[in-house]
Amino acid sequence: MPGVMPPTIEWAGDRVRLIDQRRLPGELVMVDAVTIDELCELIVTMAVRGAPALGVAGAMGIALASVRGDDLHAAAEKLISTRPTAANLAWGVRRALAARDPVAEAVDVAQEDVAVNRAIGRHGVSVVPQDARILTHCNAGGLACVGYGTAIGVIRAAHDSGRSPSVWVDETRPARQGARLTAWELDRLGIPCTVVADALAASLMAGGEVDLVVVGADRIAANGDVANKVGTYGVAIAARHHGIPFYVAAPRSTFDPSCPSGDRIPIERRDPAELGDVPPGVAVDNRAFDVTPADLVTAYITEDGVSTTPSG
């Protein structure tokens, strides 16, 4: 069995240290950011990604700017513009900006993250039946947070409590966070999993091979609409079509009360090259997220409990 996981992201004295997720699952190596520009580059290229981890990255970015004597508001703006969809990024930036000691605050944000995720897992176990076959999309694991995970947190809490879940892992095109990251995490945890093309999910449901869906979130609007990795919405429609419960596991920092509904959530459009080769001159639309309307969400799993409404 592999050793203990390092934190996905941590404060290392005068710099931000994080797992370079671009190199997973091949190798587990750390990379440091010493400047805001370096950190922004690591965020844009998804060396670090996942809404809760981006919250920590935002706070630590402000911490970095403060120890370097950079302009904090310029740093904040630069950080927030890297990934427009994840609510947590701006949330983490704001927390550190508002603190007397941004470094201490950033370290607090990171420490709270694992505790929050464990609470999400503890509450989430209640929705997981014995021997549940769970489908998840993208990576909402320890790698999307400081550790433990949100959607994967629910699965591992169920695993640890003896419910013996097994997991269908959507590949998650184009960046393959499911095949590369979620499968790697579940395998390390000893939780049985099978990687499938995103397009197989509906067919697995039709065959009675899925008991529930649990995913993370990048931003949850005040009305409960959920932005998450592109493909989540199609999974939610298919789950509803087959009468399968669809859960969203996320910390309160992903809920954005200032955003009334999903149509107001900015959807990041990423480099078309991520989708791989297409014939020269052919257009590619690489929207990275989609919005699942609240009425397709069976319940939200947060550190406060399991609730059918976004307000908990």
Question: Cβ of residue 249: shortest distance to a second copy, in angstroms?
Answer: 19
The answer to whether residue 84 forms part of the interface with a second copy (CB under 8 A) is no
Which residues participate in catalysis according to the annotation?
A: 218
Which residue is listed with tokens 């099978």? 194
∠ CA 20-9-198 to the nearest 5 degrees?
55
Query: Using the rule CB under 8 A, which residue among 44, 46, 107, 202 binds a second copy?
Result: 202
Integer Cα distance of 110 and 72 in angstroms: 19
Cα Rg for the chain, rounded, in angstroms?
18
The answer to whether residue 233 forms part of the interface with a second copy (CB under 8 A) is yes
* Per-residue 3-state assignment (H helix, E strand, C coil) for 144-171: HCCCCECHHHHHHHHHHCCCCCEEEEEC
Beta strands 246-249 and 299-302: pairing type? parallel
Question: Cβ of residue 146: shortest distance to a second copy, in angstroms?
Answer: 21
- For 280, phi and psi rounded to 5 degrees? -55, 135
CB 223 within 8 A of CB 260: yes
The answer to whether residue 238 forms part of the interface with a second copy (CB under 8 A) is yes
The answer to whether residue 206 forms part of the interface with a second copy (CB under 8 A) is yes
**Dmax (CA) of the chain:** 58
CB 225 within 8 A of CB 261: yes
Query: Using the rule CB under 8 A, which residue among 55, 224, 231, 251 binds a second copy?
Result: 231
Query: Using the rule CB under 8 A, which residue among 5, 107, 237, 264 binds a second copy?
Result: 237
Query: Using the rule CB under 8 A, which residue among 45, 111, 223, 286 binds a second copy?
Result: 286
The binding track of 151-190 with respect to a second copy, each residue x by CB under 8 A or -, is -----------------x--xxxx-x--xx--xx--x---
Binding to a second copy (CB under 8 A) within 242-271 occurs at none
The answer to whether residue 195 forms part of the interface with a second copy (CB under 8 A) is yes
Positions that interact with a second copy (CB under 8 A): 25-26, 168, 171-174, 176, 179-180, 183-184, 187, 192-203, 206, 229-231, 233-234, 237-238, 240-241, 275-279, 281-287, 290-291
